[in-house]
Amino acid sequence: MLQCTAVTQAPPSDAPDTVVPPSFLLCELGEHDAFTEHAAFLRAAEPSSAPALWFFWTGTGPDRSHRVASVPWCPAVLRHLGTGVVRQCAFPDHHPAPHSWSVTDPLGDLIAERLLSGDGSDTS
């Protein structure tokens, strides 16, 4: 599943002081229907397992409605049977669409590939 492509502008008026530019927020969820809130990560809490701050919105332009909320992390984990590596879902709890490990971000993958094959490879 591809990542949702929704982008919105962060409202400077009611966004927390700690939110700094870029002022555009990208939905991080997998593709979902138009009636479901988009979710953009704003700020991690301390400790990092505590509820983080998220920006939720629906609609675009003048029809947009949004809220900023502190939401617990999705409790889902994925254990890789071969390596024993455990990944925690990187989305807020009760998110729509699949968990984070099922969402592909072609642009992010492309950037990662360039970093790996580029001249930044000082480790073998």
Asked if 34 contacts 9 with a C-beta cutoff of 8 angstroms, the reply is no
CB of 17 to Zn ion, least distance (A): 25
CB of 30 to Zn ion, least distance (A): 8
**Would you call 92 exposed, middle or buried from its count of C-beta atoms within 10 A (0-12, 13-18, 19+)?**
buried
Strand ranges (E), the chain? 7-9, 24-26, 38-43, 52-58, 65-71, 77-79, 86-88
CB of 80 to Zn ion, least distance (A): 16
Asked if 23 contacts 42 with a C-beta cutoff of 8 angstroms, the reply is no
CB of 109 to Zn ion, least distance (A): 18
Nearest CA to 51 among 75, 76, 74, 72?
72
DSSP state, 112?
H
Between 49 and 113, CB nearer to Zn ion? 49
Between 6 and 42, CB nearer to Zn ion? 6
Between 93 and 113, CB nearer to Zn ion? 93
Chain positions contacting Zn ion, by CB under 5 A: 4, 6, 27, 29, 38, 74, 76, 89, 91, 99
